[in-house]
Amino acid sequence: QVHLAESGGGLVQPGGSLKLSCIISGRTFSTLAMAWFRQTPGKDREFIASISWGVGSTYYAESVRGRFTVSKDNAKNAVYLQMNALKPEDTAVYYCNTQPLIPGLDWGQGTQVTVSS
């Protein structure tokens, strides 16, 4: 089985920073890229950023462009999300997953990010 484990969330004041980690363990499947998503109650999961396993091409949602940076470590099967200049509207549960999504691959538990003074 493949397991997705997000970590690094927490409580931070507006303007602060957090770095999230996503570790892929167990069986590793080849995918084009990894992506970060976030979700708040009553809303669908929102795409945040992605990075390809090959050349490392990155893409960002407009809402986080210029503030968040996605990176990877192929050898460690890990992806990271550096979040700077956090805003209250960034409050959400953050998830990582493959891109494209693989049917039958369970989402991880996510990591809670709360931006509040």
pLDDT of residue 17: 98
Classify the phi-psi angles of 96: left when phi > 0, otherwise alpha if psi is within -120 to 50, otherwise beta: beta
96 phi, psi to nearest 5 deg:
-115, 155
pLDDT of residue 85: 98
Contacts of 67 (CB under 8 A, 6+ apart): 83, 84, 85, 86
pLDDT of residue 26: 79
**pLDDT tens track for 66-115:** 999 999 998 899 999 999 999 999 999 999 999 998 888 899 999 999 99
Burial class (CB in 10 A: 0-12, 13-18, 19+), 20: buried
Distance CA 25, CA 22 (A): 10
Residue type, 26: G
**pLDDT tens track for 22-75:** 999 877 667 889 999 999 988 999 999 999 998 999 999 999 999 999 999 988
Q: How does DSSP classify residue 104?
A: T
The pLDDT confidence band at residue 16, using thresholds 50, 70 and 90, is very high
**Count of CB atoms situated within 10 Å of the CB of 45:** 17
Alpha carbon 36 to chain centroid distance? Answer: 3
Distance CA 18, CA 11 (A): 9
